Amino acid sequence: MENISPGGELAWSPGFEGGQVASFGDVKINIEAYNRKREKDIANASKKLLSLAIALKSDLDHDPDSDPSPSAMSKAREIEKLAHDVKETMKLNLISPH
Amino acid sequence: MYGVETRFGIPVRVAGFRFRVACLAAVFVVATACVAQEGKPAEPPAADATQTADAAAHPAKDSKPQKPGESDRKKVIADQSAQLLEMALALKAEVDKTTKDTLSLNVIKKADEIEKLAKSVKEKMKQNSGS
């Protein structure tokens, strides 16, 4: 059976800014930079998610007897998508071996 | 007491009796009219009259017909959106605690719950707009 695990070919080397760089063939990932961006993305997404949740509640409280507006529905959809992104981005945490 | 002399050919006693009967009849008629007037319902105020006229003109304006269970669904949506807000606050607090090198299982768990709840709210809203 063919070994599809990247473990054998994954190489680690010191990066440009002192961080570790993971190399997989031609693809090089700066772990430090990646994790920094990941942290920023998660923080932005959770911030946007919170403001959308506030806006959604405000929309529904404004006129509780009427049907939910298309805007409220779009907010719920966006919240669902952002929560999914936060979850998946948080799962992709790269830890260097050094 | 009564004399027997006549006036215009009618005895005075007879004329007095007729007069008294006529007076009694008049009093009876007036009394009946008063009682009938008191028995009538009071006139409604002008505002009530306007509202009644409005209601008659636009019977479906205020009382929007709702399907059974629709108000319950709206209440559930409102409750879930409140819960969504609480969970979003908790997620933000949890994210603020993590650093770039940490993998927070709490964040993953909370984000997953929010995703499911938001999906449920979205589906309920679709049911509302579709009905």
Of residues A47 and A95, which shows the higher confidence score? Answer: A47
DSSP chain B: -----EETTEEHHHHHHHHHHHHHHHHHHHHHHHHHHHHSPPPPPHHHHHHHHHHHH-TTSS-----TTHHHHHHHHHHHHHHHHHHHHHHHHHHHH--TT---HHHHHHHHHHHHHHHHHHHHHHHHHH-
Closest residue in B to A88 (Cα) is B108
Q: Residue A39 phi/psi, 5° resolution?
A: -60, -40
H or E stretch covering A10: strand A10-14
- Alpha helix (H) residue ranges in chain A: 31-62, 70-91
- Residue A98 within a domain: no
Average pLDDT over residues A33-60: 92
Average pLDDT over residues B66-93: 88
Q: pLDDT value at position B130?
A: 60
Q: Where are the domains of chain B?
A: 6-57, 70-130
- The β-bridge partners of A12 are A22
Does ipTM exceed 0.85? no
- State the residue range of the domain holding A44: 6-91
**Residue B46 binned pLDDT confidence (cut-offs 50, 70, 90):** very low
Which residues in B lie closer than 8 A to residue A71 (C-beta atoms)?
Answer: none
- Looking at the partner chain, which of A65, A79, A86 has a beta carbon nearest the beta carbon of B84? A79
Q: pLDDT value at position B87?
A: 96
Q: Is the pLDDT of residue A36 over 80?
A: yes
- Looking at the partner chain, which of A36, A49, A90 has a beta carbon nearest the beta carbon of B88? A49
- Residue A96 within a domain: no
Domain tally for chain A? 1
Of residues A19 and B46, which shows the higher confidence score? Answer: A19
Q: pLDDT value at position B85?
A: 96
- Residue A97 within a domain: no
- Residue A37 within a domain: yes
CA angle (B25 as vertex; B20, B26 as ends), nearest 5: 95
- The β-bridge partners of B10 are B7
